[in-house]
Amino acid sequence: MICLLALVWIISCTTDVTGSANTKYLQGEIGGNVTFNCFAGEKANATFFYFQINETFINGYYEDKDLLKYKKRWNNTKLDGNTVHMYKLKVSDSGLYQCIMLFKNEGVRKEYYQLSVTAKYSQPTVIKSCEEGFSCFVTCASHGGYPGTEMTVNVPVPKNTSGQMWKVVNISQMSNPITMEYNSTTTVVFNCSKGQLTHISCSVGEVTSPMFSVCEHRPEPDPSDHTVVIIAICAVAVFIVSVGLLLYCRCKKRQQHRQIRNDQQMETLRGGEAEEGTC
Ligand SMILES: *[C@@H]1O[C@H](CO)[C@@H](O)[C@H](O)[C@H]1NC(C)=O
Ligand SMILES: *[C@@H]1O[C@H](CO)[C@@H](O)[C@H](O)[C@H]1NC(C)=O
Ligand SMILES: *[C@@H]1O[C@H](CO)[C@@H](O)[C@H](O)[C@H]1NC(C)=O
Ligand SMILES: *[C@@H]1O[C@H](CO)[C@@H](O)[C@H](O)[C@H]1NC(C)=O
């Protein structure tokens, strides 16, 4: 057995360069599964089959007195003939894998698989904070992605004015030390002096936020509001005029009564005038 291991080691050292020419690429998602179809359809005549990453053995079997004996080091793998299933992928499972098989007639053959484990970023969330008429700060944030990717803000303005209209104020990519997943956040500030800017979006990796706009104009008062105001002013005016008229008529009436009662005396008339002022 030790001889076999030594043999495998020597072979892996000597044939790495030629072997990597036919590397197959596999992609998996964090938490997902991946399958290595080593030597597809060639399970006959094998004396041993090793699945390893770099020089580290992961799973495999060898023939011992016409019996196949299985060995396994990684618990997230399962062997099915020469097919290796790998479960619950982690970012750290990324790497160059080798399938090594000793065929009774042909000798040792190797296959290479480059696995890259990625994670999709969440759809970016957009948070706006505007100082009406001056500027708008917009923060786009997305989490749980791998590899680390910058959040970009797509603003459809001509290149020559772009520098005046908006600029990036902060870009951050923070990664979780255990899962290695990234949070990607970018903050930009918009110049609102030219009014509304539309069809803006944020993207990270292959995910993009819905379109949004910034620097919306202060909402114009609704024309129907004017009508309401005019009606209200008219109503108040009519009310004041009516009250005025009513008071005036009352005074006039009292005055007339007094005139009828004391129709000869000028003094009384003057008194009436004085009284008229008080009503
Ligand atoms: C991975 O494999 C396990 C076991 O076969 C299965 O239960 C699970 O649904 C698979 N996960 C994905 C994302 O395919
Ligand atoms: C905002 O844009 C106007 C032109 O529309 C420009 O004159 C002004 O300098 C800009 N402000 C900033 C802070 O870039
Ligand atoms: C940029 O954003 C990150 C994450 O939100 C924050 O930790 C950092 O302090 C910010 N940097 C500046 C200069 O504001
Ligand atoms: C990433 O974002 C998620 C959701 O907003 C948060 O719970 C987590 O703490 C963040 N992780 C890091 C490393 O900033």
At 2-45, the pLDDT tens digits run 445 544 444 444 444 444 568 999 999 999 999 999 988 776 56
Mean pLDDT computed over 135-146: 96
- Residue 73 Cα, ligand 1 centroid: separation in angstroms? 20
Give the residue-averaged pLDDT of 219-237: 56
The predicted pLDDT at position 233 comes to 59
Pairing outcome for strands 77-80 and 135-145: unpaired
- How many A from CA of 142 to the centre of ligand 4? 9
Ligand 2 near 172 CB (within 6 A): no
Is 253's pLDDT higher than 50? yes
Going by alpha carbons, the residue nearest to atom 7 of ligand 4 is: 143
CA angle 189, 192, 193 (to 5 degrees): 135
Please check the confidence at residue 120 and state whether its pLDDT lies above 60: yes
Supply the pLDDT for residue 268: 47
27 lines ligand 3 (CB under 6 A): no
Is residue 201 pLDDT above 80, yes or no?
Answer: yes
pLDDT score at 264: 55
Average pLDDT, the chain: 80
Structure tokens at 105: 């007639």
Cβ count near 214 (within 10 Å): 22
The pLDDT score that the predictor gives to residue 224 is 57
Rounded Cα gap, residues 38 and 83, in angstroms = 6
Q: How far is the CA of 187 from the centre of ligand 3 (A)?
A: 9
Q: Average pLDDT of 90-101?
A: 94
User: Which residues are paired to 184 by β-bridges?
Assistant: 142, 173
Residue 6: its pLDDT value, please?
47
Mean pLDDT of 250-255: 66
Q: What is the pLDDT of residue 139?
A: 97
Q: What atom of ligand 4 comes closest to residue 183's alpha carbon?
A: 1
User: pLDDT tens, 40-81?
Assistant: 877 656 788 999 998 899 999 988 888 888 888 888 999 988
Which residue, judged by its Cα, is nearest atom 10 of ligand 4? Answer: 183
Q: Measured in angstroms, how far is the CA atom of residue 40 from the centroid of ligand 2?
A: 64
Ligand nearest to the CA of 124: 4
Looking at residue 119, the DSSP 8-state letter turns out to be: B
Distance separating alpha carbons of residues 188 and 131, to the nearest angstrom: 14
Tokens of residue 222, six digits: 């609704």
Percentages (nearest 5) of helix, strand, coil residues in the chain: 30, 40, 30
CA 118–ligand 2 middle distance (angstroms)? 41
pLDDT tops 70 at residue 230: no
- Measured in Å, residue 146 CA sits from the centre of ligand 1 at 20
What's the start-to-end Cα distance of the chain, in Å?
125
Residue ranges lining ligand 4, Cβ < 6 Å: 143, 174, 176, 183
Q: How far apart are CA 141 and CA 124, in angstroms?
A: 5
Inform me whether the pLDDT recorded for 217 exceeds 60. Answer: yes
**Residue 114 and residue 140: Cα distance in Å, rounded?**
33
Closest ligand 3 atom to Cα of 139: 5
